[in-house]
Amino acid sequence: MPTVPAEPGPFPFEVGSTALLVIDMQRDFLLPGGFGESLGNDVGQLARVVPPLAALLAAAREAGMLVVHTREGHEPDLSDCPPAKLRRGAPSLRIGDPGPYGRILVRGEHGHDIVDELAPLPGEVVLDKPGKGAFYATDLQQLLTGAGVTQLLVTGVTTEVCVHTTVREANDRGYECLVVSDCVGSYLPEFQRVGLQMIAAQGGIFGWVAPSSAVVTALSPATATVA
């Protein structure tokens, strides 16, 4: 069984019962001019996640692991966007407004889709979610149950919002989660640091944390076995 050296301790996993979850690596969050930047954020903080995540994604695919991508966004009429979410914050562009990549966080628009470097392959699952957590108003639970998945390798953005929300709910649902530290990102370095600390605190209260290099190394024997 592959084992990842992690905090607060080793994370053993089986490829067949583990899924790689790639959360919201969308143009609207990562690219200049998108929703993330309209909130006053430095999108360069998220861009650094792309290379290690691309390498991890390739390793997971080679190992035959289930890969699930999520995208946060809304129907064109915004009927699934609560008014409280629509009003929150003080961005220069709000959800549904025209932006450089189409209407902000609207399904079917260019900005709503995943960045080219991490584009899903044909047959990979892409779940559209209207909220922060990957389980809310999606079929993620049914998908994982049907695939026999009990463990998650969690990646994506942002660490303190959609990643944390998903991991906390996954923990309550009984999943063991390893958050891959350099494959999650925050616009704010302090939030990144504290967000990761909170996952593994108190003996792994929400899960485990490890860098992608350790996960890719652990996947290598599994890849050889599958081949």
Type of residue at 85:
K
Q: The tokens of 116 are what?
A: 């080219």
- With 0-12 / 13-18 / 19 or more C-beta atoms within 10 angstroms meaning exposed / middle / buried, residue 77 is exposed
Choice among 28, 113, 129, 177 that is catalytic: 129
Query: Exposed (0-12), middle (13-18) or buried (19+): which is 169, by Cβ within 10 Å?
Result: middle
Q: From CA 198, how far away is CA 167, in angstroms rounded?
A: 11
**Rounded Cα distance, 212 and 157, in Å:** 15
The CA-based angle 87-159-9, given to 5 degrees, is 150
Phi (first) and psi of residue 44, to 5 degrees: -60, -25
Q: Among this protein's residues, is 132 annotated catalytic?
A: no
Q: Alpha-carbon distance 30 to 42, whole Å?
A: 9
* Residue of 24, 28, 113, 182 with catalytic role: 24
Choosing from 81, 162, 177, 183, which is the catalytic residue?
162
Whether residue 129 lies in the annotated active site:
yes
Q: How far apart are CA 91 and CA 32, in angstroms?
A: 14
Enzyme catalytic residues: 24, 129, 162
